[in-house]
Amino acid sequence: MPNTSRGLAVGNALVTFATANLSGLGLVYCDWQKGMAPGPVYPIDPVSDCPRLELRLYVEEIDAAVARSTRTLLKFGWWYYRLQTPGQDHQKLLRTDLETIVNLFFGNFNPLQLELAGANFTRPAQTVIHDDLRHEFDDPTLRVSVGEILMEIACIGQA
């Protein structure tokens, strides 16, 4: 039987790895996305809730056994929220932070936690710069930059 909990195990490993290695971003939250919203959601209190990094598992695709192994393809998205300070160059600042995250996972990538969780191959799929999120009153000090890093992880295990 395929290991149907692989997505959860790898996701937990990603969160652990990111939490341990992204302290430079000053994250106040680094964990699974609590809901399953189809797009970025404005944090209710962006002053207290940003910067934050949320993991979303989109797809867990399990292939039939190939050569007595099971191949599972996992597609994750990291959603990064950054509170804007009026007057700053928000797109560049967001891009810099996203690069920090991308470099962590796809630079010298050999995270033991992921290997233990069964991940064999990881590659970035896409980095998306979303439109910024604004409070309904459009207070300039409460605008939030949002970026998303899509990644694919392949896991190969014994059938």
Partner 1 sequence: MSYDAIRDALKTRLEAVDDIGVVHSYQRWTAEAPNLPGFNTLFKSDGRLNTWMISRVGELSRKAPGDDSRYAVRHTLQVLAFYAIDDSAASEEVFQDLVSDVLADLRAGDRTLGGACLTHSAPEATLDYADFCGVTCHRAEISLVVEEIV
Interacting residue ranges for partner 1, rule: CB under 8 A: 33-35, 37, 41-42, 44-45, 47-48, 135, 137, 139, 141-142
Among the residues of the chain, which ranges form H helices? 6-21, 46-49, 90-106, 112-117
Cβ distance to partner 1 smaller for residue 34 or 92: 34
Give least dist CB 30 to partner 1, A: 15
Cβ distance to partner 1 smaller for residue 122 or 145: 145
The packing angle between helices 6-21 and 90-106, to 10°, is: 120
Tokens of 124: 């970035």
Give least dist CB 82 to partner 1, A: 18
95 vs 25: CA distance, rounded Å: 13
Cβ distance to partner 1 smaller for residue 67 or 137: 137
Give least dist CB 33 to partner 1, A: 7
Give least dist CB 76 to partner 1, A: 18
Cβ distance to partner 1 smaller for residue 45 or 67: 45
β-pair partners for 77:
56, 150
Under 8 Å CB-to-CB from 136, ≥6 apart: which residues?
none
Cβ distance to partner 1 smaller for residue 95 or 134: 134
Q: Is-contact 113 13, C-beta < 8 A?
A: yes
Give least dist CB 17 to partner 1, A: 23
Handedness of CA 110, 116, 117, 119 (dihedral sign): positive
